[in-house]
Amino acid sequence: MTLTDIEYKAFLRTHLELLFYVGHKSKIIADDIIFNVFVDLNFSIKLKCRDFLLDNKKLLDDYIAENFDKLTTEQISILTGFKKTISSDFVIFKCLTNNAVFIDTKDNRFYAVKALSDSFDQFFDRFPVLVKTTLLPFNDHIIYDGFIKPTGVYFGSGMTSTMKEEYKLAKKNNQILTTI
């Protein structure tokens, strides 16, 4: 239920280069910080860059325009996918062989989400669990952007039973989204 190693590395490199750009434009990181130093910075710095990007989506277009000659077709495809993000509170309902089932708490939509390099059951000891994250399209999959914040909220048997029935209905009606 994770990306292949090649997919993961392509996503990670492209995403980090974008966040590095955002970090400089937003002044979250100093102008003299180079990319290799940025990669080793604390996770919270990268999260600030991601949050700034989500609030200032024009920076994505600026990044693509300023770096168009340096970007590969694959990188442009990945970056274009970033325009279709869904940031929300999600219930990770269950982990399956090929993906995890996420439920958006805003509209009760179901998403089949691939993990990046570590499966979701390595992060959480039980499901369903409520998290905050951002989903995006990637190579005919839905992934999360690498930032997942657990809320500490787990669900009891009553809510789990309700979600199970909703999941069965969504599955029966082909309403589990595999693309954004």
**Residue 103: its pLDDT value, please?**
98
**Mean predicted confidence (pLDDT) in 13-34:** 97
**Residue 73: its pLDDT value, please?**
94
Q: Where are the alpha helices (DSSP H) in the chain?
A: 5-26, 35-40, 43-55, 58-67, 73-81, 157-172
**Residue 133: its pLDDT value, please?**
97
Whether residue 22 contacts residue 60, with contact meaning beta carbons closer than 8 Å, is answered with no
**Residue 17: its pLDDT value, please?**
97
**Per-residue model confidence as pLDDT tens digits over 141-165:** 999 999 999 998 989 999 999 999 9
**Residue 57: its pLDDT value, please?**
92
Rounded Cα distance, 20 and 173, in Å: 42
**Residue 99: its pLDDT value, please?**
96
Rounded Cα distance, 38 and 170, in Å: 42
Backbone phi and psi for residue 171, each to the nearest 5 degrees, phi listed first? -65, -45
**Per-residue model confidence as pLDDT tens digits over 61-83:** 999 999 999 999 999 999 999 99
Rounded Cα distance, 9 and 6, in Å: 5
Instruction: Return the structure tokens found at 56.
Output: 């200032």
**Per-residue model confidence as pLDDT tens digits over 83-142:** 999 999 999 999 999 999 999 999 999 999 999 999 999 999 899 999 999 999 998 999
**Residue 1: its pLDDT value, please?**
84
Q: In which band, very low, low, confident or very high, does the pLDDT at 9 lie, cut at 50, 70 and 90?
A: very high
Domains for the chain: give ranges and CATH numbers.
Answer: 5-83 (no CATH), 85-177 (2.40.50)
**Mean predicted confidence (pLDDT) in 11-40:** 97
**Residue 94: its pLDDT value, please?**
95
Rounded Cα distance, 47 and 53, in Å: 10
- Cα 17 to its chain centre, rounded Å, is 16
Closest C-alpha to 112, from 55, 175, 161, 176: 176
Rounded Cα distance, 20 and 52, in Å: 12
Rounded Cα distance, 15 and 96, in Å: 26
DSSP 12-43: HHHHHHHHHHHHHHHTSS-TT--HHHHHHS-H
